[in-house]
């Protein structure tokens, strides 16, 4: 387990992955955790075989906080252009789908559509001074080389496919 996974946000991310895996398996899909190197290098959390035996890979994104001490919310999510080491972030990973947790389901977005959207809409030449000011602007955390930005989930619904989980 890498160090970031021991932190609160890492643990919450793992719980979101567990919820997604259970949701998929309830629908008859076979879900396999990716090897650690694939998870780290390619940003792939799971390999899924659906009921038609088609293979998909996914990177799961749980509900996010805007500020470290705020509660999780369902209006905005963080997009990672560069990771904490300054390398290409998960936006440039190799998964077939980026899957965002919503309060009432899951939003599946193809990475190319998400990259096109983020690269067009986020002003990467403007840096926000605090997380809540990072709406469509870059935010860099102290002591890290990351480049992250907040984007509205309602905008991502327009480029993805939302699967409602209410029964």
Does residue 3 have a pLDDT over 60?
Answer: no
**pTM listed for this prediction:** 0.91
**CA–CA dist 160, 100 (Å, integer):** 10
Query: Tens digit of pLDDT for each residue in 137-159?
Result: 999 999 999 999 999 999 999 99
| Average pLDDT for the chain | 92
Q: How much of the chain is helix, strand and coil, in % rounded to 5?
A: 30, 35, 35
Does residue 9 have a pLDDT over 80?
Answer: no
Does residue 44 have a pLDDT over 60?
Answer: yes
Give the contacts of 166 (CB within 8 A, at least 6 positions apart): 104, 105
Does residue 69 have a pLDDT over 90?
Answer: no
């Amino acid at each position: 387990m890498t160090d970031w996974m021991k932190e609160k946000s890492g643990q919450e991310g793992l719980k979101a992955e567990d919820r997604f895996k259970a949701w998929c398996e309830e629908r008859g899909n076979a879900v396999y955790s990716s090897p650690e190197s694939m998870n780290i290098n390619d940003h792939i959390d799971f390999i899924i075989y659906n009921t038609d035996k088609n293979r998909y890979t996914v990177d799961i994104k749980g509900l996010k906080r805007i500020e470290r001490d705020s509660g999780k919310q369902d209006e905005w999510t963080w997009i990672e252009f560069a990771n904490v080491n300054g390398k290409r972030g998960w936006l440039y990973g190799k998964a077939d789908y980026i899957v965002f947790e919503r309060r009432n389901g899951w939003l599946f977005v193809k990475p190319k559509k998400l990259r096109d959207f983020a690269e067009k809409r986020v002003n990467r030449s403007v840096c926000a001074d605090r997380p809540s000011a990072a709406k469509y602007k870059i935010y860099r955390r102290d002591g890290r080389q990351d480049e992250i930005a907040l984007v509205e989930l309602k905008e991502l619904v327009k480029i993805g496919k939302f699967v409602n989980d209410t029964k």
